[in-house]
Chain A
Amino acid sequence: MSAASHKSKAEPLLPIDKAAERPLWVVLIIMAFLAALALLSARMGDRNYSALQSELAGTATLQLKGLTPNNRLDIAQQALSLIETTAPNVNAQRVNDADAAALIEPWIGSNVNNLPSGITLPVLISLSNSTASEREALARAFNAAAISAVIDDHSEWSSDLTRASRAFTIGSYLILGLTFFAGTAATIFSVQSAMSAQSKTIAVFAQVGTADNFIARLFIVRAIKVGAAAAIIGALGALLFLALFRVLRGPSENGLLPSLTPTLFDIVMLGALCLVFALVCAVAAGVSAKQILSRSRLYT
């Protein structure tokens, strides 16, 4: 192929005005960054929720009541024996006094050896691997043995956790949708501006019989390139932000803080997000360009 034909092929039919495109780049990168953060938040939130639910499954806390300092250890022993005989599959472990004291520290302070008269440090027994019917059987057994006990199966906490997690996930996906919407709006605005700026060129395209689809494709290709590049930059920015956030937050010493480590599947999902983001930009550009061309047809 000759040099000239090669040059002609390389010449873009629409000029790329980098200065005019800069605001679009900024908006799309920010939108992609927020979209990536929203996606990662939704996925990590969901993962942490599942982990907590899995941890809570089959667990319960048994609290012995009506104890005195003199009988608390004996009753604790009786309770453990009763659990072993009533529900042999359930793992029961007495929470040591230090941990029990830590649980009630917000109410009575740190000096558990000097509790007010009439208040006894509670005895807590942690149950795991228990089913609902086993917990009901235990409650009946404790009642029959005249041991005052309350079994908390964490269902309230679990229910709160489910609601909070669901709200967080829905919120994250809504934000994700909004960012796509904003990216679409920015792309449409940019296409309108570009078509207005290039009206003379587009009129010449029409004069030489260029189909609307061909003209629209020029904007689609540009939108795909800008959208994909902006999405990749935004997604990398979100990963960087997350890493920085982890450093600032510090490690989760007691396991209560959610894990902020993205998995390989999260990265794959971010790749898919970049692709979808670019496609959304392309569709927005194509539809917008075709609408404008359709409005300005036939008679230029």
Chain B
Amino acid sequence: MSMSSSPEPQKLSTQDIVRFDRVGLRYGRGPEVLSDIDLSLRAGTFNFLTGPSGAGKSTLLKLVYLALQPSRGLVSLFGQDISRLPEKSLGDMRRQIGVVWQDFSLIDHLSVYANVALPLRVQGAAPQTYDRNVRELLDWVGLGQRLDASPRTLSGGEKQRAAIARAVISKPKILIADEPTGNVDPEIGHRLIRLFGEMNRMGTTVLIATHDRGLIDQVPARVLHLQDARLYEEVPS
């Protein structure tokens, strides 16, 4: 993908993009699915979150994405305590976060093109300002011939690529992905990781939840491991 139309790379900052202090989360009255989590993601870093199925990786991502509230502890995003976040700031903050969920969350009545352009469209951008970027990005993820297709007609891998394209189109400060290569063949998976790497080189903080060790080995990155509701950092061997 050509990044010629991208803005100037953001300056790396030592500021924490995401910070968790003794965060705990439970659903209803159940046991804590996350317990005493301390986490700091610095601007411009590439991070993997790994752990067995059901360890709480998706839950942790949802906390980062403001889709869940912690039961205890402090979550701050871009230096702001989210529990004190004014309601009207929620949209602004989410626009700085690109998300790729496991279920892709594509809108079936919109074309692939419109799904990918959605984050820009809802910000009020004129179509002519983003048309080229959307087309280039879709070409790059291998969906250049499926612009007008409905997500219903896409394969699992194509849906995932469309979801990734939508997550990165607005050049977010942080990119969160939940098992992004789960449904794609190795070649596409490799391309996606390159895309994430390119976003990261431009200053985007990346957090990818995966249990694909092959994927983790492709990129020199910080690896966080979730197990038994607690978070550990893997020390490179």
Contacts and interface: CB of A to CB of B under 8 A. Distances in A.
A207 B94 contact: yes
B114 interface: yes
A299 B66 contact: yes
Interface string A176-217: 000000000000000000000000110111111111101000
Nearest to B66: A298
A13 B127 contact: no
A74 interface: no
Interface stretch (A1-9, A43-51, A96-104, A124-132): A1-9
Interface residues of A, number: 29
Given A299-B67, A300-B67, A7 B122 contact: no
Nearest to B104: A204
A11 B110 contact: yes
Contact of B127 (A9, A205, A212, A298): A9
B117 A8 contact: yes
Contacts of A214: 91, 122
B11 interface: no
Contacts of A210: 91, 122
Nearest to A208: B119
A294 interface: yes
Given A8-B114, A207-B94, A299-B66, A294 B119 contact: no
A214 B120 CA distance: 13
Interface in B118-136: 118-119, 121-123, 127-128, 130-131, 134-135
Chain A interface main SS type: helix
Contacts of B6: none
The winner among B88, B127, B147, B148 for most chain A CB atoms within 10 A is B127
Interface in B130-148: 130-131, 134-135, 147-148
Interface string B103-118: 0011101110110011
B91 A209 contact: yes
A13 B94 contact: no
A13 B111 CA distance: 11
B90 interface: yes
Contacts of B113: 4, 7-8
B99 interface: yes
A156 B127 CA distance: 72
Interface string A9-32: 101010100000000000000000
Contacts of A5: 127-128, 130-131
Interface residues of B, number: 42
Give the interface centre of B107, B110, B118, B128 by most chain A CB atoms within 10 Å: B107
B3 interface: no
B105 to A, nearest CB: 5
A201 B108 CA distance: 9
A4 B119 contact: no
B87 interface: yes
B1 interface: no
B124 to A, nearest CB: 8
A200 B106 CA distance: 9
A149 to B, nearest CB: 80
A11 B92 CA distance: 24
B166 interface: yes
A86 to B, nearest CB: 80
Nearest to B147: A4
- In this complex, which of A211, A212, A297 has the most chain B Cβ atoms within 10 angstroms of its Cβ? A211
A1 B148 contact: no
Interface of B: 65-69, 85, 87-88, 90-97, 99, 101, 105-107, 109-111, 113-114, 117-119, 121-123, 127-128, 130-131, 134-135, 147-148, 166, 170
5 contacts: A7-B114, A206-B94, A208-B170, A209-B93, A300-B67
The 9 closest A-B pairs by CB, nearest first: A209-B95, A209-B94, A5-B127, A5-B131, A211-B91, A210-B122, A208-B119, A15-B109, A8-B114
Given A1-B127, A205-B122, A208-B166, 20 more contacts: A5-B127, A5-B128, A8-B117, A13-B121, A15-B109, A203-B105, A204-B106, A204-B118, A205-B118, A207-B99, A208-B94, A208-B95, A209-B92, A209-B93, A209-B94, A209-B95, A209-B119, A210-B122, A294-B87, A298-B85
Interface of A: 1-2, 4-9, 11, 13, 15, 200-201, 203-212, 214, 294, 297-300
